[in-house]
Amino acid sequence: MSHITLVRHGQANSAARTEDEYDRLSPLGFQQAEWLGQHLDDNGQYHHRVYCGTLRRHVETATAMGVADDMVQDDRLDELQYFDLARLAQEQIGLAIPIDREGFVQHMPQVFAAWSEGRLENVPESFDHFESRVRSVIADIIGGDGPALVVTSGGVIANALRHTMELSLGAMSRMALAIMNTSVHRLHPIGEDLSPVLFNAVPHLEAPDRMYAQTHL
């Protein structure tokens, strides 16, 4: 096994209310990704293999980072469809969709709980399917040769860490809320298991003149 570095996409369209509207980088998102690519180059962090999901924001992030050549796209790395789940939760169990980040702090754990418990009907995919595909793609990538860079989304990263650390669903929700745009996370084999050795790092955004670019939405 080799280590795997997970990167959340750059800031997307934070004013969106649908999956399609959300799936494009903002101007700041492109800048975040470009800075991260420069940071990796400046520090000689070369990855033999590069993967990303099939969503537009994943491809735009990898391209802005300068790592899209010979990149492998895998739809198992695509994000859960949170907007669709939130709409179903509103329609079926009366859970109001929040309008600010503070509201999402309460909203996300409730949506995840309803989804995982099967209380939502006609979902885009079941919670079990989401977890299964994340486990399978991480296992396939980590089983390859050489370090791998993976551009994906916060929900996928949080779920990968949930399984690695055997976290509760509530802990996964809090982790997903904490993950910043273009943040870096690393899983490393220790013994027969994977362990997180880096979480939510944004070294490319830590300079005083870039701290404004540390975004979550």
Same domain, 104 and 137: no
Same domain, 102 and 160: no
- Of 89, 124, 159, the one marking the end of a domain is 124
User: Tell me: the pLDDT tens digits for 109-161?
Assistant: 999 999 999 999 999 999 999 999 999 999 999 989 899 999 999 999 999 99
Same domain, 47 and 113: no
Same domain, 14 and 41: yes
Same domain, 198 and 172: yes
Provide the pLDDT for residue 161. 97
Same domain, 73 and 173: yes
Query: Cα separations (Å) of 118 from 35, 106, 114?
Result: 41, 19, 6
Provide the pLDDT for residue 55. 98
Structural tokens at position 118: 């099967």
Provide the pLDDT for residue 85. 97
Same domain, 56 and 93: no
Q: Where are the beta strands (DSSP E) in 71-183?
A: 72-73, 148-152
Residues whose CB is less than 8 angstroms from the CB of residue 155 and which lie 6 or more positions away in sequence, other chains included:
79, 80, 82, 176
Provide the pLDDT for residue 1. 57
Q: Which residues of the chain have pLDDT under 70?
A: 1
Number of domains in the chain: 2
Range of the domain at 27: 4-80+126-213
Same domain, 85 and 46: no
d(CA 130, CA 157): 12
Same domain, 48 and 148: yes
- Of 60, 89, 124, the one marking the end of a domain is 124
Residues whose CB is less than 8 angstroms from the CB of residue 25 and which lie 6 or more positions away in sequence, other chains included:
9, 10, 11, 12, 33, 57, 60, 61, 64
Provide the pLDDT for residue 17. 83
Count of positions (residues) in the chain? 217
Structural tokens at position 199: 């979480």
Bridge partners of residue 52, in order along the sequence: 73, 151
Q: What is the pTM of this model?
A: 0.95
Same domain, 88 and 193: no
d(CA 215, CA 94): 29
Task: Catalogue the long-range contacts made by 16-22 (C-beta closer than 8 Å, 24 or more residues apart).
Answer: 16/83, 17/83, 18/83, 19/81, 19/83, 19/84, 22/57, 22/83
The answer to whether residues 24 and 58 touch, using CB atoms and an 8 Å cutoff, is no
- Of 124, 156, 186, the one marking the end of a domain is 124
